[in-house]
Structure 1
Amino acid sequence: MTAETPKGIVVVGSGAFGTALAAVASASDKVPVTLLTRRESVVDDIKTSGRNDDALPDIDLPQSLQVSIDPSVLEGADIVLFAMPSQAQREAARSLFGFIRPGTDVVICAKGIERSSGRLLTDVVAEELHLHNVAVLSGPGFAADIARGLPTAMAVAAETMDRAAYLAEALSSPTFRLYPSADRIGVQLGGALKNVLAIACGIVEGAGLGDSARAALISRGLAEMSRLIAARGGDAETVRGLSGLGDLVLTATSHQSRNLRYGIAIGREGRARTETGELVEGAFAASVAASVAAELGIEMPITHAVAAIIDGRLDVKSALEQLMTRPIRQE
């Protein structure tokens, strides 16, 4: 592990997850941490009340946390966390390119695949920033739990294990533990696909199909996840870790999960809702993952079913009939 120590951390994005990451990084008192937002109201709220109630109601943020709307704060950062939604990552990287110094470690903190291209977010951001050292942070962690200092463990994957270990050490705290990985492909696909599978688990719950069906879905969903990861050049074993199984269990069982709640609504109504009122990353990822799997010749029946339901091509009853009448094969 490298002995270098970062001089500054900037978290880009003042939503719930970005605010939580900035809070836990600042609370560790290792280095100065700045939350970069586009909204002056967030700056005013944090400076006057010590909270970002729009994103994390009733949670006090560390007094040491700095907040700014000026992107020039990025020029003094050694580590930059991109905590905006997955489909906004390219635009954000493009707009901030002139402020991020060469050699800066950029860490993607979103779970998804770019919808327009089917590419992984690390590839998208690396292209826009002309950087090689783009990492990804993923795993089982709700923003409110992280910000409150509840024990949380996640994974951080970088181009090399040494770089991942450096980032894990720099970003971990007594309540927020990161485990290093060199499998950026597996960690990203695990984070994206678990949202799709969480929607499927929500459909099972909303339709009243029982816990046995949920358990079967989780186990077969993990098999789908591992097949796609291997086909894209990642390590299939990554699904057994925090960014795969760990994140899926959390997101597929806790009602804090927006993806699960979205699936429950679908299961109750028998078809997809056109408006959710919330950001549901799995709704974006489903059709992209299904398309990528089809191009690679990978069987992912659960993912395809979720995509078809969300796209309005299947109702829940028809999708379940298709899944339950598939040929029986050796597990």
Structure 2
Amino acid sequence: MAKVMVLGAGGFGISLALMCHRYGHEVTVWSHREEEVIRLREEREQKKLLPGVKIPQEIVFTATLEPAKYSDLIIMAVPSFAVRQTAHRLKEHIGTNSIIVCVAKGLEADTFLDFSTVISQEIPDHPNVVLSGPSHAEEVSRGEATTVTVASKDRAAAHQVQDWLMNPDFRVYVNDDLVGVELGGALKNIIAVAAGIADGVGLGDNAKAALMTRGITEIARLGVAMGGHQETFAGLSGIGDLVVTCTSMHSRNRRFGILVGQGVPVQQALEQVGMVVEGYSCTKVAHDLAEKMGVEMPITSQTYQVLYEGKSPKDAVRDLMGRPKKKEIEHTWVV
């Protein structure tokens, strides 16, 4: 049994807290909002994000980071924009032997840094691990079969996290390609937004399949350019996460895209989804990074133009379909 502290009381944070409690760990959940802590203590349910899923009394809620001092495992389940500031606050409280696991998926705006690097900059003396893969909170919270991968510069830490988190409902693999795992989990959100836009416009299954397939191609293209291994993008944090995020209505990125494809203004669509849409912010970061590195990402580029420049989704489809002739197989393609 481990002492686990989950930072973030959103859907995925609560689902991981429930999973850890279900298999014998001592769990504390932190939120920076005192009112949220009080509500969760009283209602024992994350009604907005996980309605109907009851939270056992044994799971403790707190608005202080003090319990981190005594925690074996600290799961950082905060939105991508809050990773650095949360890590900065955490470093004053973290215990000597604690391992950090980040489940946020994205890249830091302006710096283009992955979150493992961000956390290492803020808390340099502690191993940190990233967890990624097809893992909707709604299903994890109910104990439905889920498989993910973990990666770290510290292999022993990754294996320790695998030992702590793996159970009959939650299978955990270890992957040594930290860059690939992080980028696959981050960039698939962009393709999920694009897939939602395609659904909203009314495109069929043929277009959706092509979008996902060519989407993983450009994810791998940027990922390899950043130092990732191409085979990683054929794995859980690549194709696995891409498939579930592009096809499920659990996906806020897809739901957001559907609204945009139906003609709802971008800001209004964000408000209607009612929670952080990581694919929206990641689209701009990835677009700027691809331009900086000279990497061709046509789906990301067209999605950026729709979300940030007001381009019509139908015009974006037309421009994607009308691109110059290409060979399908590239040297960075997934094998």
Same fold (TM over 0.5): yes
Normalising by structure 2, we get a TM-score of 0.92
Contact kept in structure 1, 2:69 and 2:96, CA below 8 Å: no
In structure 2, the partner of 1:33 is 27
| Contact residue 256 and residue 269 of structure 2 kept, 8 A | no
1:287 equivalent in alignment to 2:284: yes
Q: Partners in 1 of 2:166 and 2:58 — Cα distance?
A: 17
AA paired with 1:328? K
Residues 90 and 125 of structure 1 are in contact (CA less than 8 Å); yes or no, is this contact kept in structure 2?
Answer: yes
Residue 162 of structure 1: aligned partner: 156
- Contact residue 185 and residue 234 of structure 1 kept, 8 A: yes
- 3-state DSSP class of the match of 2:50? coil
- Equivalent residue letter for 1:243: S
Matched AA of 1:299 = E
| Kept in 2: contact 1:141–1:152 (CA 8 A) | yes
Distance in 2 (CA, whole Å) between partners of 1:170 and 1:264 is 38
Q: Could you tell me how far apart the structure 1 residues matched to 2:210 and 2:125 are?
A: 41
Match in the other structure for 2:243: 249
Partner Cα distance (1:299, 1:48) in 2: 51
Tell me the TM-score normalized by structure 1.
0.93
8 Å Cα contact 1:24-1:173 kept in structure 2: no
SS at match of 1:34: strand
Q: Is 1:321 matched with 2:318?
A: yes
Higher mean alpha-carbon deviation, 256-265 vs 306-315, is at: 306-315
CA distance in structure 1 between the partners assigned to 2:313 and 2:45 by the alignment: 41
Match of 1:269 in 2: 263
Q: Contact 2:180/2:223 (CA < 8 Å) preserved in 1?
A: yes
- In 1, distance between residues paired with 2:39 and 2:158? 34
Correspondence for 2:179: 185
Count of aligned positions: 325
Show the counterpart of 1:60: 54
Q: Report the AA paired with residue 136 of structure 2.
A: F
Whether contact under 8 Å (1:272, 1:312) holds in the other structure is no
- Aligned mates of 1:131, 1:196 — CA distance in 2: 33
Please give the alpha-carbon distance, in whole angstroms, between the structure 2 residues aligned to 1:48 and 1:33. 17
Corresponding letter in the other structure for 1:306: T
Partner of 2:4: 9
Quickly say closer, same or farther: Cα 1:291–1:132, change in 2 above 3 A: farther
Matched AA of 1:172: M
Deviations 1:276-310 (A, max 9, x none): 12311000000111111111111110011111111
2:296 aligned partner, one-letter code:
E
Per-residue CA deviation, residues 168-192 of structure 1 (Å, 9 max, x unaligned), is 1111222112111121111111111
Asked if 1:90 corresponds to 2:84, the answer is yes
Q: Which amino acid aligns with 2:4?
A: I
1:78 aligns with 2:95: no
Return 176-185 or 62-71, whichever deviates more.
62-71
Shift of 1:275: 4.9
Please name the residue that 1:118 is paired with.
Answer: 112
The answer to which of 230-239 and 96-105 deviates more is 96-105
Are 1:271 and 1:316, in contact at CA under 8 Å, matched by a contact in 2? no
Q: Distance in 1 between matches of 2:228 and 2:138?
A: 31
Cα distance between partner residues in 2 of 1:148 and 1:275: 28
Structure 1, unaligned stretches of length 5 or more?
1-5
Asked if structure 2 preserves the Cα contact closer than 8 Å seen for 1:140 and 1:243, the reply is: yes
Following TM superposition, by how much is the alpha carbon of 1:40 offset from its aligned partner in structure 2, in angstroms?
3.3
Task: For 2:245 and 2:260, locate their aligned partners in 1 and report how far apart those are by CA, in whole Å.
Answer: 16
Q: Would you say the 8 A contact 2:259–2:269 is kept in 1?
A: no
Secondary structure of 2:270's aligned partner? coil
**C-alpha distance in 2, partners of 1:291/1:237?**
25
Q: Which residue of 1 aligns with 2:332?
A: none
Amino acid at match of 1:316: P
The alignment partner of 2:100 has SS state of strand
2:150·2:158 contact (CA, 8 Å) conserved in 1? yes
Matched residue, 2:331: none
The separation in 2 between residues aligned to 1:70 and 1:273, in whole angstroms, is 33
How far the C-alpha of 1:317 sits from its partner, in A, is 2.3
Give the residue type in structure 1 aligned to 2:3: G
Report sequence identity in percent.
Answer: 37
Specify the alignment match of 2:309 in structure 1.
312
| Contiguous gaps of at least 5 residues in structure 2 | 329-335
Q: Please report how far the alpha carbon of residue 123 of structure 1 lies from its aligned counterpart in structure 2 after TM superposition.
A: 0.7
Paired with 1:328 and 1:142, the residues of 2 have a C-alpha distance of 37
Q: Which of 174, 194, 201 in structure 1 is aligned with 2:168?
A: 174
Q: C-alpha offsets along residues 247-271 of structure 1, whole Å, 9 cap, x if unaligned? A: 1111101111111011111111186
Query: Which shows bigger deviation, 52-61 or 238-247?
Result: 52-61
C-alpha displacement of 1:327: 1.1
Counterpart selection for 1:153 from 129, 147, 158: 147
Runs of 4+ in 1 over 4 A off after TM superposition: none
* Correspondence 1:141 to 2:138: no
In the alignment, the residues of structure 1 paired with residue 41 and residue 285 of structure 2 have an alpha-carbon distance, to the nearest angstrom, of 40
